[in-house]
């Protein structure tokens, strides 16, 4: 696998997500009636999401292909560093887990889950960890309902993830994935949904 080719695809996707973000912001402004109540803002967001659904799906399909490459490549540390250069792409990595899990309907669909978890590994805890925990929780519940256990995929992706904490008093991506099922978030927000 050619890292230069991977690097070029990351750059192209980073630029595409930047363009998508600008377009989304512009459409939101057009859709918003300037009322500040939650319903008006929510409607504007929903209308914008509907207008951009095809573009969003196309970008995430491309991101899924990159995540598949990441799962088997040797230069993962370089890949994680490279993704950090593209803030709009970086922010979409957590969303990619949710997008990928929509395709999980049975054990044979585990590939989608692995790609979504690879996106989390690529992001390497550089976005809000609370959003990440929430995304992992939603994915876990969706997979549970589809009869697809997440324990083994979590461990497999943890193995290829960074073991270096992002800062003092923080955890690494590897630790977060390995220990997700023992986390306070899992016990309070995920486990009760599985009863």
Pair of tokens at residue 38: 């939650």
Alpha-helix residue ranges (DSSP H) falling in the chain: 3-31, 38-51, 53-72, 76-83, 87-101, 110-123, 129-145, 151-160, 173-178, 184-185
pLDDT tens digits, one per residue of 137-171? 999 999 999 999 999 999 999 999 999 998 777 89
Closest by CA position to 122, among listed 98, 158, 93, 153: 93
Domain boundaries, the chain: 3-194
pLDDT tens digits, one per residue of 56-83? 999 999 999 999 999 999 999 999 999 9
Q: Are 14 and 89 in contact (CB under 8 A)?
A: yes
Closest by CA position to 164, among listed 136, 134, 126: 126
Q: Is the pTM of this model over 0.85?
A: yes
pLDDT tens digits, one per residue of 174-192? 999 999 999 999 999 999 9
Q: Are 148 and 107 in contact (CB under 8 A)?
A: yes
């Amino acid at each position: 696998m050619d890292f230069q080719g991977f690097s070029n695809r990351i750059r192209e996707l980073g630029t595409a997500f930047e363009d998508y973000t600008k377009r989304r912001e512009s459409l939101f402004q057009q859709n918003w009636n300037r009322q500040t109540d939650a319903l008006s803002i929510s409607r504007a967001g929903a209308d914008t999401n509907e207008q951009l659904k095809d573009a969003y799906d196309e970008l995430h399909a491309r991101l899924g292909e990159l995540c598949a490459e990441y799962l088997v490549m040797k230069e993962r540390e370089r890949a994680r560093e490279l993704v950090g250069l593209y803030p709009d792409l970086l922010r979409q990595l957590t969303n990619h887990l949710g997008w990928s899990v929509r395709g999980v309907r049975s054990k044979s669909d585990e590939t989608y889950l692995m790609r979504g978890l690879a996106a989390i590994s690529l992001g390497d805890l550089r976005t809000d960890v609370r959003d990440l925990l929430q995304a992992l929780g939603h994915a876990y519940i969706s997979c549970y309902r589809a009869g697809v256990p997440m324990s083994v995929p979590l461990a497999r992706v943890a193995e290829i993830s960074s073991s270096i904490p992002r800062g003092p008093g923080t955890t690494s991506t590897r630790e977060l994935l390995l220990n997700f099922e023992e986390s306070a978030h899992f016990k309070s927000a995920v486990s009760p949904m599985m009863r």
